[in-house]
């Protein structure tokens, strides 16, 4: 592989743009191909970011010999099959969360990744946000132990729109997408697997065919608990807010920012080389490729999260 990692990015929507902006700050990486469903918009974005190749077909980008790695920011339902396609083409791959919305597909991805030995990771961004990294460092130093995580994931959504307010071609999902962030983060921060999980959901939306409200309870093997509330009906502050309640303090994480229990901001600017969780996630992906190692948030590390989501889906469908 050349010294410069050459990347194809699939999905030029809200999250694809976040990755392109983050990659601009990373040395030794060049995006050489952009893939998205509207060729004119794709060409326009490619020109803006100085990307030479634009296409609507992932297969076309995978056929480019210079492409070393792929970042997938495509609809959820495509994630597993496209990750498999990247691995079969001999490309390292980072797929945005969730890895899959069918657990068996996630297992298939892990099997192929282990066979190929390629770097494959999932965009579980909460592992990389400076706010959550700061808490993780306190835990590893023995200065803080989680007793409970109280998490609110709130949006206001009536149509299929992305984070930029643009129309989506697919339907988002509280369980397989938004809950995945918290389920994985809870086990990761506790350093303990989830042994109990329960879920209830509200009415199914007549047009979107998904539950618009959901409540999830988790317990880790070490006894810590997590309460997660999710809603697409919340007409108020939007986003995901994490409250860590522990033996020596309380911390509130709002994306890359962190506050104590008195709502006083904690300086996390020295935690990592950037305050941008997406950029830090990408830095880990490229570092793992350069160093030939397993990345944080690898397929193997996050697959237990999808087992929990599968079990919760079985409960909800029973």
**Among 272, 137, 149, 303, CA closest to 217:** 149
Beta strand pairing call for 265-266 and 257-260: antiparallel
Q: What is the pLDDT of residue 207?
A: 83
Alpha-carbon dihedral sign for residues 125, 127, 130, 132: positive
Q: Rounded to 5 degrees, what angle do the CA atoms 187, 317, 152 make?
A: 40
pLDDT tens digit at each of 318 positions of the chain: 558 999 999 999 989 999 999 999 999 999 999 999 999 999 999 999 999 999 999 999 999 999 999 999 999 999 999 999 999 999 999 999 999 999 999 999 999 999 999 999 999 999 999 999 999 999 999 999 999 999 999 998 776 665 555 665 555 789 999 999 999 999 999 999 999 999 999 999 888 888 999 999 999 999 999 999 999 999 988 889 999 999 999 999 998 999 999 999 999 999 999 999 999 999 999 999 999 999 999 999 999 999 999 999 999 998
Give the C-alpha separation, 86 to 218, whole Å: 33
Q: What is the pLDDT of residue 79?
A: 97
User: Residues 60-91: pLDDT tens digits?
Assistant: 999 999 999 999 999 999 999 999 999 999 99
Q: What is the pLDDT of residue 255?
A: 87
User: Residues 94-127: pLDDT tens digits?
Assistant: 999 999 999 999 999 999 999 999 999 999 999 9
What are the backbone angles phi and psi of residue 89, rounded to the nearest 5°? -85, 0
Q: What is the 3-state secondary structure (H, E, C) of 207-267?
A: CCCCECEEEEEEEECCCCEEEEEEECECCCCCEEEEEEEECCCEEEEECCEEEECCCCEEC
Q: Which residue has the tokens 């990761």?
A: 188
Q: What is the pLDDT of residue 166?
A: 60
Q: Please, how many CA atoms are within 13 Å of residue 17, restricted to the half-sphere of its CB?
A: 11
User: Which residue stretches of the chain are H helix?
Assistant: 14-23, 39-48, 58-62, 79-88, 103-116, 130-140, 180-190, 277-291, 299-317
- Which residues 6+ apart lie within 8 Å of 196 measured at CB? 217, 218, 219
Residue 33, preceding peptide bond in cis (omega within 30° of 0): no
Query: Structure pTM?
Result: 0.94
Q: What is the pLDDT of residue 108?
A: 98
Q: What is the pLDDT of residue 172?
A: 75
What are the backbone angles phi and psi of residue 4, rounded to the nearest 5°? -80, 125
The average confidence (pLDDT) of the chain is 94
Length of the chain: 318
Three-state secondary-structure class, residue 34: strand
Give the C-alpha separation, 271 to 139, whole Å: 14
Three-state secondary-structure class, residue 74: coil
């Amino acid at each position: 592989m050349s010294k410069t990692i050459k990347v194809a990015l699939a999905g030029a929507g809200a999250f694809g743009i976040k990755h392109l902006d983050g990659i601009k700050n990373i040395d030794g990486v060049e995006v050489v191909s952009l893939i998205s469903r509207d060729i004119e918009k794709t060409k326009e974005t490619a020109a803006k970011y100085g990307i030479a190749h634009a296409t609507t077909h992932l297969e076309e980008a995978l056929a480019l010999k210079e492409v070393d790695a792929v970042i997938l920011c495509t609809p959820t339902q495509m994630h597993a099959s496209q990750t498999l396609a990247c691995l079969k083409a001999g490309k390292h791959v980072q797929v945005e969360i969730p890895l899959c919305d069918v657990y068996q597909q996630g297992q298939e991805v892990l099997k192929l990744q282990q066979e190929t030995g390629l770097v494959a990771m999932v965009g579980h961004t909460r592992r990389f946000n400076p706010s959550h990294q700061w808490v993780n460092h306190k835990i590893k130093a023995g200065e803080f132990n989680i007793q409970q995580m109280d998490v609110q994931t709130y949006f206001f959504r009536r149509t299929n729109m992305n984070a930029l307010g643009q129309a989506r071609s697919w339907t988002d999902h509280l369980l397989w997408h938004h809950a995945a962030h918290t389920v994985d983060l809870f086990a990761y921060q506790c350093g303990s697997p989830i042994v109990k999980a329960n879920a209830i959901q509200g009415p199914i939306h007549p047009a979107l065919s998904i539950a618009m409200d959901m409540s999830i309870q988790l317990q880790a093997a070490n006894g810590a608990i997590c309460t997660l509330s999710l809603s697409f009906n919340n007409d108020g502050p939007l986003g995901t807010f994490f409250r860590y309640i522990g033996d020596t303090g309380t911390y509130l994480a709002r994306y890359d920012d962190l506050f104590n229990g008195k709502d006083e901001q904690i300086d996390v600017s020295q935690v990592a080389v950037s305050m941008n969780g997406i950029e830090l996630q990408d830095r880990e992906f490229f570092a793992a490729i350069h160093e030939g190692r397993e990345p944080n948030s690898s397929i193997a590390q996050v697959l237990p999260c999808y087992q929990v989501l599968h079990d919760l889906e079985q409960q909800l469908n029973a």
